[in-house]
Amino acid sequence: MSKILTKALLELADDHLILGHRLSEWCGHAPLLEEDLALPNMGLDLIGTARSLYTYACQVEDKNKSEDDFAFLRNEREYVNCLLVERPNFNFAHTILKQLYFSVFMELYWAAALNSDDEMLVGIAGKAKKEMAYHVRHSGEWTVRLGDGTSVSNEKMLQAVNALHLYTNELFINTENSDTYISKNILPDRTSFKANWQKKIKTIFKQAFITYPNNNDELLGGRVGLHGEELGHLLASMQSVHRLHPGAQW
């Protein structure tokens, strides 16, 4: 195993940590008490998966490193999450759509990862896939409720689709680092999920009276460390305690 696998694992781990942190930002701000519990709880699932992946990356690359080094001591340009997950929460409809896009993708991804030749990844996938099934249901049901709700909620869902859809293509692109491990049957091939992902999203959109965008607009860059300004703000807040007290333990 090598540093290349670490880099490929970091793409997955960063997606989960950043989206998990975005969900935690809803704590105390959600529109309903139930959602105030639901969103941070789903954030916990994502951060838990990120921790397993970072810990695995440490075992692969450098046993002296810990998950905290990856999460708290890297700068924006070293983060390799896709742009979708770092998008700010903006409003509830945006958050729900972002969750839907990501969780439908990850449910397919983890299901495929169950057939990986890497035992550790199979273990992480087994847990994560079950959790993703819940996330898909949560965001799917809300997408339908909002899309098929009032004219205001429908309008907000349409605005969310306009704002976020162009970030979804990045989910289906394999990086050079992961390519090595796809051919070895360790990591799943991201391109293979596109048809099923679109099918599922289209089914939900139809129920929600949302038109699936026909254009091929895309915005990329996250996997090579080119992020939006908002990631810097997120990291500043997420990393501040750790950086103030380096190496602190309790």
Partner 1 sequence: MVTHTVSERNQTGIINDDKALAWATASNVLDPEIPCVTVGELGIVRDIELIEDEVTVYVSPTYSGCPAVLAIEMAIETELLKVGFRPNIKRILSPPWTTDWISDVGREKLRKFGITPPVNASSKMGLFGKVNVECPRCSSNNTEKLSEFGSTACKAQYRCKNCLEPFDYFKCI
Among 4, 112, 122, 220, binds partner 1 (CB under 8 A): 122
Among 89, 159, 207, 239, binds partner 1 (CB under 8 A): 207
Among 3, 77, 137, 199, binds partner 1 (CB under 8 A): 137
Which stretches does DSSP call E strand in the chain? none
Residue listed under structure tokens 């935690």: 24
Q: How far is the CB of 167 from partner 1 (least distance, A)?
A: 23
**Contact between residue 78 and residue 138 where contact means Cβ atoms under 8 Å apart:** no
**Contact between residue 79 and residue 231 where contact means Cβ atoms under 8 Å apart:** yes
Cα gap 147→130, rounded to integer Å:
26
Q: Determine, following the binding rule CB under 8 A, whether residue 98 of this chain makes contact with partner 1.
A: no
Number of Cβ within 10 Å of residue 222's Cβ equals: 24
Q: Which two tokens stand for residue 132?
A: 């993703």
Among 204, 210, 231, 234, binds partner 1 (CB under 8 A): 204
Q: Determine, following the binding rule CB under 8 A, whether residue 34 of this chain makes contact with partner 1.
A: yes
Q: Determine, following the binding rule CB under 8 A, whether residue 144 of this chain makes contact with partner 1.
A: yes
Among 9, 17, 18, 42, binds partner 1 (CB under 8 A): 42
Q: How far is the CB of 188 from partner 1 (least distance, A)?
A: 17
Among 7, 21, 22, 51, binds partner 1 (CB under 8 A): 51
Among 35, 69, 76, 189, binds partner 1 (CB under 8 A): 35
Q: Determine, following the binding rule CB under 8 A, whether residue 124 of this chain makes contact with partner 1.
A: yes
Residues 6+ apart with CB under 8 A from 64: none
- By the 10 Å C-beta count (0-12 exposed, 13-18 middle, 19+ buried), 122 is classed as middle
Q: How far is the CB of 204 from partner 1 (least distance, A)?
A: 7
Residues 6+ apart with CB under 8 A from 119: none
Number of Cβ within 10 Å of residue 207's Cβ equals: 14
Among 21, 22, 98, 138, binds partner 1 (CB under 8 A): 138
Considering beta carbons, is residue 162 or 212 the nearer one to partner 1? 212
Among 46, 80, 97, 108, binds partner 1 (CB under 8 A): 46
**Contact between residue 90 and residue 174 where contact means Cβ atoms under 8 Å apart:** no
Cα gap 15→79, rounded to integer Å:
9
**Contact between residue 220 and residue 84 where contact means Cβ atoms under 8 Å apart:** no
Q: Determine, following the binding rule CB under 8 A, whether residue 127 of this chain makes contact with partner 1.
A: yes
Q: Determine, following the binding rule CB under 8 A, whether residue 27 of this chain makes contact with partner 1.
A: no
H or E segment to which residue 186 belongs: none
Question: Of 73-92, which residues contact partner 1 (CB under 8 A)?
Answer: none
| Binding footprint of partner 1 on the chain (CB under 8 A) | 20, 34-35, 37-38, 41-49, 51-52, 119-120, 122-124, 126-131, 133-134, 137-138, 140-141, 144, 204, 207
